[in-house]
Amino acid sequence: MGSAITQFQIIPLQYYILFCSALFSIGVIGVLAKRNALVIFMSVELMLNSANLLLAAFSAYRNDPAGQIFVFFIMVVAAAEVAIGLALLVVVYRSTHSIDIYKLDRLKW
């Protein structure tokens, strides 16, 4: 375990932060710009996983397991979220015959 943490710490912490911020930004842009619901799910997963990586990096640098425990919780929730998301996608596809979110325009004033 000790060796894994030393290997983790070879890369400076700033690089992890920059990398995770970049991943997070890609996820945000993906959610805002794409119109395919599946691609949006993937972008949301990217956002969650960038937070996972950041937590793991901080946790390794501080020798504090709390961050890595949090990662497990996030992974469980992300799995549940994907299950619900895909189920909703199937239901929406049944009524609109499309997974384009721009087709979801029944509700507006």
Partner 1 sequence: MYAIITISIVAIIVLFFGAIQKKAPLLPIIYVGLPLAFLLHLLEWNKNIHYYNEMYIADNFSIAFNGVLIFTTLLVFIFAPVYYKPVNRPLEDIYALILFALVGGLIMTGFGNLLMLFVGIETLSLSLYILAGSKKFDPNSNEAAMKYFLTGSFASGFLLFGIALLYGASGSMNLEEIKQYVILHQANMPGMLTIGLILVAIGMSFKIGAAPFHFWAPDVYEGSPTLITTFMATVGKVAAIAAFFRLMQSSFGEVESIWKVTLTIFAIATILIGNLSAFYQDNVKRMFAYSGIAHAGYMLIAIIALKQEASGVLLLYSISYTIATITAFAVLILVREETGTFSIKAFNGLSKHNPTEAFAMTIAMLSLAGIPPLVGFAAKYNLFVSAIEQGNLPLVIVAIIGSMISVYYYIRPVIAMYANEPSATSAIDSSSNYKKQIILAAFLMIVLGLIPGVIVNLI
What is the binding site for partner 1 (CB under 8 A)? 17, 20, 24, 27-28, 31, 37, 40, 44, 47-48, 50-51, 54-55, 58, 62, 64, 66-67, 69-70, 73-74, 77, 80-81, 84-85, 88-89, 91-92, 94-96, 101, 104, 106-109
Alpha carbon distance 8, 71 (integer Å) = 16
Q: How far is the CB of 35 from partner 1 (least distance, A)?
A: 11
Q: How far is the CB of 10 from partner 1 (least distance, A)?
A: 18
Structural contact between residues 23 and 56, judged by C-beta atoms closer than 8 angstroms: no
Structural contact between residues 27 and 44, judged by C-beta atoms closer than 8 angstroms: yes
Q: Which residues pair with 36 in a beta bridge?
A: 100
